[in-house]
Amino acid sequence: MEEREKERTGIRSLKVGFNNVFGYYIEVTRPNLALVPQDYIRKQTVANGERFISQELKEYEAKVLGADEKIKALEYELFLRIREETGRQAARIQRLAQVLAEVDVLLSFSDLAVERNYNRPEITRDGVLAIKAGRHPVVEEFLGGTFVPNDLSLDSAEERFLIITGPNMAGKSTYLRQAALMVIMAQMGSFIPAEAAQIGVVDRVFTRVGATDDLHLGKSTFMVEMSETANILNNATANSLVILDEIGRGTSTFDGMSLAWAVAEYLAERIRAKTLFATHFHEMTRMEKDLPGIRNYRVEVRENGRTITFLHRIVPGGADRSYGIYVARLAGIPSPVLNRAQEILEELEQKEREPAKGFAKRAHPDSGIQLGLFEAHPHPLLSEIRQVSLDRMTPLEALLLIDRWKKDLDGEVSR
């Protein structure tokens, strides 16, 4: 139309345009207004000319705008028909979606197993959890193939509760979490990151890890920790897998150790759930001697002077140090703080050893004590026993004190 109108009017600058306010128009510049034909109807004045409309253009505009309305009406009609038909086929579509979802998940499992060298676990109902060279599926991917694998063995009798000690940053938490993840992966039908595994079906996996709070609900980190622990103790069964990472951290040492000890006893004796219990309370390793089913494991380290190397291997036995100051050095704590912390640690360790040294010194053959022929000289341990205030001691404090006395006596016998 624009080319035809240019030829008919002789106005070479004539333009046919459109906007949302005025619709279609014919625009003519001021120098060419004298050439505008009689059938043009003035519509709008603009800065450099006039805009017009013709009967032909009005008819075209009505056709185009009407078509747009017809398109929208037709689209809505088609939508209603599709919606109605879809509703009639809803059950089939949902069944198809379920099948496709399962195929998608299983295909992802198979791709992952091939790509990351996962193996098929043996699922049993005998309560055994035996994993050879297990790996953490997320950490392994992040490390790019440098992950150190570890074995795990839990059953329902001899070895169902593992107390795991060792330094910070050495891998205790990773070991606990990879066990839980592999159990979940196996029970959902996936191969797992291990050379081989025998995994007994569990009813639930309970975890108490990390340090979080719910301050907006008035709960401190310790309150959250205790709430999660309470949920485990109230709901776990002998068929559960329980993962506990550092119980009792948010309160005083004796409070925390007492709670951790009591929780461990309850899980091992009353609930008898398969449990992995990581802790820095090294005194808890004594439970192995007193309760059946409890075994000590530690994360192995290699010491070289003041430097240590985390080997990330879980081996039998208990640890007696946490190397917290070393980890603080890795984190960038200033040297004056680290040096002062080392001094305080040495002072505290010295005070812990002083009573034992006192016993040894007083009982030494060269101490100058001359025993009578018919009268034994009172042992210094008896004096300390007489001074103990039992009504002010917790059961755990009494246990620790008796253990120290036993070590002192054993030391005297060996000398």
According to DSSP, the β-strands at 241-245 and 274-278 are: parallel
Rounded to the nearest angstrom, the gap between the alpha carbon of residue 284 and the centroid of all alpha carbons in its chain is 25
Task: For residues 192 and 109, give the distance between their C-alpha atoms in angstroms, rounded to a whole number.
Answer: 9
Q: pTM here?
A: 0.64
275-320 residue pLDDT tens: 999 998 888 889 998 888 999 999 988 877 767 788 889 999 988 7
Greater model confidence, 293 or 365 = 293
According to DSSP, the β-strands at 41-46 and 122-124 are: unpaired
Residue 115 located in a structural domain: no
Is 129 in contact with 153 (CB distance < 8 Å)? yes
Task: For residues 260 and 256, give the distance between their C-alpha atoms in angstroms, rounded to a whole number.
Answer: 6
- Residue 251: name the closest of 233, 225, 228 by CA: 225
pLDDT band for position 353 (50/70/90)?
Answer: low
- Residue 40: name the closest of 29, 25, 61 by CA: 25
Distances in whole angstroms, Cα of residue 102 to Cα of each of 32, 89, 98, 121, 230: 72, 20, 6, 20, 36
Tell me, what CATH number does 7's domain have? 1.10.1420.10
342 in the same domain as 325 = no
Residue 92 located in a structural domain: no
Phi, psi of 98 (to 5 degrees): -65, -45
Residue 164 located in a structural domain: yes
According to DSSP, the β-strands at 294-304 and 196-200 are: unpaired
Phi, psi of 63 (to 5 degrees): -65, -45
52 in the same domain as 157 = no
Residue 219 has pLDDT above 80, yes or no: no
220-273 residue pLDDT tens: 788 888 889 999 999 999 999 999 988 887 777 788 888 889 999 999 999 999
367 in the same domain as 341 = yes
* pLDDT value at residue 216: 66
User: Containing domain of residue 29, as a range?
Assistant: 2-86
Residue 321 has pLDDT above 60, yes or no: yes
305 in the same domain as 196 = yes
Q: How many domains, in total, are found in the chain?
A: 3
